[in-house]
A and B are shown apart, each in its own frame.
Chain A
Amino acid sequence: MRRLVFLSFAVSIFTACGTASSSKNEKEDEKLSVVEVSEARINAGKEVYQTYCFACHMQDGGGVPNLNPPLIKSPWVNGDKETLIKIVLNGSAGGQYEVDGELFYSAMTPHNFLSDQQIADVLTFVRNNFENKASAVTAEEVLKIRNALKQE
């Protein structure tokens, strides 16, 4: 809850500062994409999480030892968006993604049946929850990777 308050505060600052400063240097862009995390998207993402993710990754994102990887402070969650989006779209055979020196052997269902917006929202939620802090994911980014995977 405190995080949400903080986020909405950050969002309001962003709004207050106006959108005129959209094309700045790279550092600014990075900051912008972090600030883009809106409460509405977070809430939408939380709903997706509660429907499709929590049964395996658990309510607190802690996962299940040996089986389902934790999302808390996960390098995969906080890392490269492309890899993360691919995991959601394709699922995983299991045993592939090491977190804190441990492997997790259960397979993950491909979640390509979710819409681009749902995937963007849930990843934005996960990247800004469970002690994670990373930039938002957009529906456009998901669509781009979905299309690229179709080419493969």
Chain B
Amino acid sequence: MAEANVPKELLYTEEHEWVEKTGDDEIKVGITDYAQGELSDVVFVELPDVGASFSRMEAFGTIEAVKAVSELYSPAAGEVTEVNDKLADDPAAVNRDPYGDGWMIKLKLQDPSELDSLLSPEGYSELIAD
């Protein structure tokens, strides 16, 4: 597999979600290039409704690829403010463009300091190098 892309401007979870800070207390979430490569062809993404709340590392949805279902974990506690509905018809966007069209949810954070415990790009690169 080609080396996975780990953008320097994002944060990461150990469960392979990426996090983009889009405001003081809002983030955008998806799964990493490494994760989509490991899963291979994504065929189904199940996301929550806008308004749903999740605690830190609680499952917010699932993704299915080649008959493998994986849970998706909320990087921090918060409320869903937007969902990428386009993934219902085009789940392959997660493979094609994991950091762009393949984004999954936007979260309004309960406590923005929870982001401090996420992995840096360097930390995540080390994790997937193991």
Q: Do A and B bind each other?
A: no
Q: A: which residues have CB within 8 A of B?
A: none
